[in-house]
Structure 1
Amino acid sequence: MVGNPYMAEAGQPQRSGTQSLGRGIRLMRMIASKPEFGWRLSDLAAASQHDKATVHRMLACMMEERLVEQRVSDRHYIPGPLMYELGMAHPARVQFQRAAENAVASFAQRMAGIGLLLLRSGSEYVCSVRSGTLPLPGLMVHAGTRRPLFTSSGGIAIVQTLPEDEAHEVLSQNVMQEVTARGGGRLAALQAMRERSARHGFGVNLGDVVPGVHAFAVPVHNSGDQAFAALCLMGSAELYGEERLPQIHEELKSEAAALSELAHTLQL
């Protein structure tokens, strides 16, 4: 049963200010999930389960603060410059991002595939880095893409490190997100990817979700030894056949270890 969104975790009614702040943050997360296409007001209202007048008032406030912009060409709402500027207030993460861009680019070139760095964001991931020039039809993940964790081998690599109860909660939320957004058509394929990954002990997708696209991932740990990110390698079935799994796993672990060491040094 879904909990009452108007109740705090301690079981007490949320104060109106806290409730409004929570609504605003959830709305910003939604807008950030489709940075290129953007959102119509009606779609945001439907997805957030609020009436259009309420959502419009929230958007007007966010636009005044430059958290959200309305694109002139189609009137869609997209992330504003303040979202980016606020992220720069964490120097260690900015430094990690710059180093990761170079590391993932070098890794992708060495492996002749597409390299991704996915950051955990609650029950979702955000693509922080994408590098590589391999043509890969069907790969719709770019820097800034936000999706449920269980839709990616990288997300699965992160979920594999979680305590059982937390992993169950994340997967339950992800299933609800998937069904709400796309229906249940992909659930069997996503389950197959999770089961394959469990057998191998790291994120493995051998065309389970998108035929012909193979993907592999291992977690990257922060200074608290938590999986805060995942390093992914993606390519075609011809390039990365199942017989290469041991080699790919070792290459990923080596590169992820270097990124984890950097995260420890920066005290992330």
Structure 2
Amino acid sequence: MRRSLLVLRVLGRHQEEGISVTDVIAQTQLERSTAHRLLTCLVEERFAERDPLTRRYRLGIDAMQMGLASLRRAPLVASYQPLMQRLARTSGDTVYLLVRQGDYTICLHREDGPYPVKVFSTRVGDARVLGVGVGGMAILAGLADEDVQRIHAQHQAAFDAAGLGDAAFRRTIARTRRSGCAEMLDTVTPGVGGVGMAIANAEGAPFAAISIASIQPRMQAPRRAELAALLARELSAGSGGC
């Protein structure tokens, strides 16, 4: 058990770039056969994942979701909840806070606006491939080209299923980079549209996002532009705590 936790800690320290079996062995001082056995078990149980192209390991989706219990009470939620409440009240629609975890986003919090028709396409705790959804797309577009290409190649099936084939994916990335705000309509979830904007850390790297979603009739182009401007104003003003 302790050796498995040791391996998980090493994977967590190398979540962005991944880590090879050789480096796992070097950093844990485990026997090669033991390291292989533990990694295989963690992959089978979805606590780790292995990139089929680079053969490097990262934390898996189940490990990320287990951390959600602490993330729900993290300073990020407390800091951005007032901003999200203002956005929900002003827009009338559903507002989401998502955080990047490796190649995925996890929904940390949602605020429902007063509009009577709610959007339940994403629940707190849901994980999606980075870029599948407006919040994740806003984060993905802010990454370096090589990271965007790697994530797209590794998770192409998920993008295709979401209506983001190669051409649509490239157009969406380019449009999001130009405007600074991701927009989608009737793509990931039929009948739903939204806008999303990334939150950057002190180094300027996107690590989270806030998005606003509603039914398709409320998310036509003029209103998406209005909501994008609203998001930009609120995020520029700051969360009041971050």
Question: Structure 1 residues 96 and 193 mapped into 2: Cα distance closer, same or farther (>3 Å)?
Answer: same
Corresponding position of 1:26? 48
For residues 187 and 237 of structure 1, the distance between their equivalents in structure 2, rounded to whole angstroms, comes to 16
What does residue range 134-173 of structure 1 map to in structure 2 within 5 Å? 134=115, 135-136=117-118, 139-173=120-154
Corresponding position of 2:103? 123
Corresponding position of 1:247? 226
1:199 and 2:175 matched: yes
Corresponding position of 2:5? none
1:84 and 2:115 matched: no
What does residue range 228-239 of structure 1 map to in structure 2 within 5 Å? 228-239=207-218
Letter in 2 for 1:31: D
What does residue range 11-50 of structure 1 map to in structure 2 within 5 Å? 15=30, 16=32, 19=36, 20=38, 24=42, 25-26=47-48, 29-31=60-62
Equivalent residue of 1:238, what SS?
Answer: helix
Equivalent residue of 1:243, what SS?
Answer: helix
Cα deviations by residue, 1:212-268 (Å, 9 ceiling, x for unpaired): 2111011111112111111101012222211223322211112223447743xxxxx
- Contact 2:131 2:139 (C-alpha < 8 Å) held by counterparts: no
- Contact 2:135 2:211 (C-alpha < 8 Å) held by counterparts: yes
- Contact 1:115 1:231 (C-alpha < 8 Å) held by counterparts: yes
Once superposed, what is the RMSD of the aligned Cα atoms? 3.6
Corresponding position of 1:111? 91
For residues 48 and 190 of structure 2, the distance between their equivalents in structure 1, rounded to whole angstroms, comes to 33
For residues 114 and 243 of structure 1, the distance between their equivalents in structure 2, rounded to whole angstroms, comes to 18
Question: Structure 1 residues 22 and 260 mapped into 2: Cα distance closer, same or farther (>3 Å)?
Answer: farther
- Contact 1:97 1:128 (C-alpha < 8 Å) held by counterparts: yes
Equivalent residue of 1:199, what SS?
Answer: helix
- Contact 2:103 2:130 (C-alpha < 8 Å) held by counterparts: yes
- Contact 2:164 2:187 (C-alpha < 8 Å) held by counterparts: no
- Contact 1:222 1:228 (C-alpha < 8 Å) held by counterparts: yes
Length-normalised TM-score, structure 1 = 0.62
Corresponding position of 1:61? none
Question: Structure 1 residues 171 and 197 mapped into 2: Cα distance closer, same or farther (>3 Å)?
Answer: closer
For residues 166 and 211 of structure 1, the distance between their equivalents in structure 2, rounded to whole angstroms, comes to 28
What does residue range 46-61 of structure 1 map to in structure 2 within 5 Å? none
For residues 166 and 215 of structure 2, the distance between their equivalents in structure 1, rounded to whole angstroms, comes to 18
Length-normalised TM-score, structure 2 = 0.68
Between 193-202 and 128-137, report the one with greater CA deviation: 193-202
1:219 and 2:198 matched: yes
Letter in 1 for 2:82: N
Could you tell me which runs of 5 or more consecutive residues in structure 2 were left unpaired when the two chains were aligned. Answer: 1-18, 50-58
Question: Structure 1 residues 261 and 220 mapped into 2: Cα distance closer, same or farther (>3 Å)?
Answer: farther
Could you tell me which runs of 5 or more consecutive residues in structure 1 were left unpaired when the two chains were aligned. Answer: 36-78, 264-268
Corresponding position of 1:98? 78
Corresponding position of 1:68? none
Question: Structure 1 residues 18 and 258 mapped into 2: Cα distance closer, same or farther (>3 Å)?
Answer: farther
For residues 146 and 173 of structure 2, the distance between their equivalents in structure 1, rounded to whole angstroms, comes to 19
Question: Structure 1 residues 118 and 146 mapped into 2: Cα distance closer, same or farther (>3 Å)?
Answer: same
- Contact 1:197 1:205 (C-alpha < 8 Å) held by counterparts: no
For residues 203 and 219 of structure 1, the distance between their equivalents in structure 2, rounded to whole angstroms, comes to 9
**CA offset at residue 97 of structure 1?**
1.6
- Contact 2:199 2:206 (C-alpha < 8 Å) held by counterparts: yes
Letter in 2 for 1:192: A
**CA offset at residue 124 of structure 1?**
0.4
Cα deviations by residue, 1:127-151 (Å, 9 ceiling, x for unpaired): 11111144345x4311111110121
